[in-house]
Amino acid sequence: MSNVTTLLDAKSVPEAKAALICPSRNETYSYGKLRAEMNRIGQGLMNLGVKIGDRVCIYLDSSPEYLISYFAIWRIGAVAVPTNIVYRGEELLHMINNAEAVAVITDAHGMEVVAGIRAQAPTLAHIICTFANTTCISDSCAGSVAWTSFPGAPAGMRATHCAPDALCHIQYTAGTTGKPKGAMLSHGNWMTALDAEREALRMRPEDVYLGIYPMGHVGLSWGLAMLRAGGTMVMMERFELGQYLSLAEQYRVTVLAGMPPVIHSLNTAPPGTEKRLAEVRVIISGGGQLLPAVWEAFDQRYQIPVANSYGLSETIVIGSGTTTLPGYPHLTKNYQSVGVAVGYTEVKIVDAADPETEVVSTQTGEIALRGPSVAQGYWRMPEATADVFRQDGWFLTGDIGYLDEEGILFITDRKKDMIIMSGWKIYPSEVENVIIRHPAVADVAVFGVPDERKGEIPVAAVVLKPETILTDAQLVSYCRDHLAGYKIPRKLVIVDSLPRVHGWKLLRRDLREKFGGSGS
C-alpha cells in the first residue's frame, strides 16, 4: 500500500486524541473524526464521478476543510491542486486550466471568483462549496454542491492503492516566464518527506505543533509530519504575534513554525516573552534568509534551537533538503548555515554555467539536490523539466552556495531573480507582465530590496509614457485587480530608463544596488 493518507490509519494513535485544533473556530478534530471526514468527502467526490488521477483544485483559506480536502483527494487516488484564496481570477484560471481540473473545492467567498471564470474553464465539471449550511448565501453559489450534503462513507473505507510514483499533488510555483509551473509530487515523495521531517525534529506523540504556513504551500508538510508522529497540530490562519504567543502558551506548544520575520518579531517582543515559550523545544525557520544577527539574538535570548531549513516546493521542503538539527549546535556555523542533508537527501555543488561539472568543497556554485522527495518534473512542461531535473536524479535549485569541509551547506545568492517576502516567493516577470499593461507604463522592472522584518520586499521601477503620471496608490489599485496581495510592489520608483546590457538584458542587480542598498 502506497497512499500517504494511511498515516491517519495508524492503530497506535487513540481515536479520541486531538489531531487538529482550530482555535479561531473553537474546533477540535480527533484522529477518528479527521479520518471520518476524510472518508466522507473522498466518497462524495467519487459519487460525483471523480476518478483516480483526476485533478481537484482546492481554493480555500487555511482551514480544517483545506486539510480534509487534501486527505480526501489523496485517499481516492485523485490529484490535489492546492491554490491560495488570495489569488485573483486569472491566476486561479491558469492553474485550473493547466491542470485540467474536473472539480474545485471552495467557500462562499471563493465562489464569487470561481463563478467569474467558470465559463472559461472547460474541464471544470463540479464545484464543491464548504459553506456551513446546505443553502449558500451567495448567488454565485448556484450550481455548486454543498460540502455538507455528502453522506457518511461506508464503514472501514480503505485508501485507494497507489504506486509510490503515482501522482497525488501538483504544486504550482511561480515561473520565471511569468506563468506558474506545476511541480508533480507523488505519494512516495510525500511519504518520504514526512518521515524525513519527523526524524529531523525528533517528533513524538506528545509533541504539539503550532502551524502558521498557508495550507496551499508545501510548508504544510511540517504539520502533516506531526500527524505522522501521532502528535497534535494547532493551526493559525495567519501570523499575528500576540495570538501566536497566546496559543503557544495555552496549548503548551513544543514545536513552533517560524520564518525570519517571525523570529525578528520575537526578538522585539516585550521582556518576559521567554516564559510564554517555556515548553518550546525547537522553532522552524525557512522561506528566506535568516540574518545571522537576528538568529544570534534569538538564540541568546530564548535558547531555543532553530531548525534553519532549506528546501523548495519541488523537494517538499526538507523532504530532500537540509536543516540545522536540534541538539547539534555546531551545525549553525556562527549562525550562517542551513545545515546538513536530511533523510535520504544528497547535496552537491555544480558549476553554475556547466551543471555536469561538480565543484570542490568550499567552492561556490549552484546547489543541486537529489532524494526520494524530489518532484517528478513540471506538469506538461518538458523543456522546463529538462532544464532542472537531470536524468541522474539531481535537481538544479537555481540557488548559489557552497559546502564546507564538513558537508554543511551555506546559501550565498540566488541564480534566479526570485524575491522572497515573509516566505512568499515572488517572480518579477509575473508582476512585470501585469504592470506593463497599465496605460501609463512604457517599461518596468521588478526587483527585491532587503527589509528587516520581511526579508525582502518587491519594488517596481517604471519608465512612464510621455505626458502620463503614476502614483504608488494607482499602481497598487491596478495590481490588486490582477495579482495576489503579496505580489504587489511595496514601492514605486520612476526612472528615465532601465539598465540593460546591449539594450535588452535587464540588470536587476544595478537596480537593487541603487534603490535597495544591496547587490545580493
Q: In degrees rounded to 5, what are phi and psi of residue 251?
A: -100, 10
Indicate whether 299 and 409 sit together in one domain.
Answer: yes
Range of the domain at 338: 189-414
> For residues 56 and 189, what is the distance between their CA atoms, to the nearest angstrom?
19
**Residue 476 CB burial class (10 angstroms; 0-12, 13-18, ≥19):** middle
Q: Quick: pLDDT tens for 28-72.
A: 999 999 999 999 999 999 999 999 999 999 999 999 999 999 999
> For residues 235 and 404, what is the distance between their CA atoms, to the nearest angstrom?
37
Is 150 domain-assigned?
Answer: yes
Is 363 domain-assigned?
Answer: yes
Judge whether 131 and 107 are in contact, CB under 8 Å: yes
Q: What is the CATH number of the domain that holds 503?
A: 3.30.300.30
C-alpha cell at 230: 501521532
Give the pairing of strands 282-285 and 255-256.
parallel
Indicate whether 499 and 482 sit together in one domain.
Answer: yes
Q: Quick: pLDDT tens for 321-377.
A: 999 999 999 999 999 999 999 999 999 999 988 999 999 999 999 999 999 999 999
Q: What is the CATH number of the domain that holds 48?
A: 3.40.50.980
Angle between helices 64-75 and 31-48 (to 10 degrees): 60
Q: Which residue has better confidence, 413 or 155?
A: 155
> For residues 473 and 145, what is the distance between their CA atoms, to the nearest angstrom?
39
Indicate whether 124 and 61 sit together in one domain.
Answer: yes
The predicted structure's pLDDT at residue 400: 86
What mean pLDDT is predicted for residues 145-168? 93
Indicate whether 409 and 498 sit together in one domain.
Answer: no
Query: Residues 168-181, buried b or exposed e (16+ Cβ, 10 A)?
Result: bbbbbbbbeeebbb
Indicate whether 377 and 400 sit together in one domain.
Answer: yes
Question: Coil, helix or strand for 126?
Answer: strand
Indicate whether 461 and 511 sit together in one domain.
Answer: yes
Judge whether 491 and 470 are in contact, CB under 8 Å: no
Q: What is the pTM of this model?
A: 0.85
Is 170 domain-assigned?
Answer: no
C-alpha cell at 430: 509575473
Indicate whether 234 and 313 sit together in one domain.
Answer: yes
| Enclosing H/E stretch for 359 | none
The predicted structure's pLDDT at residue 133: 44
Q: Quick: pLDDT tens for 423-479.
A: 887 878 788 878 988 999 988 889 999 888 888 999 999 999 999 999 999 999 999
Domain count for the chain: 3
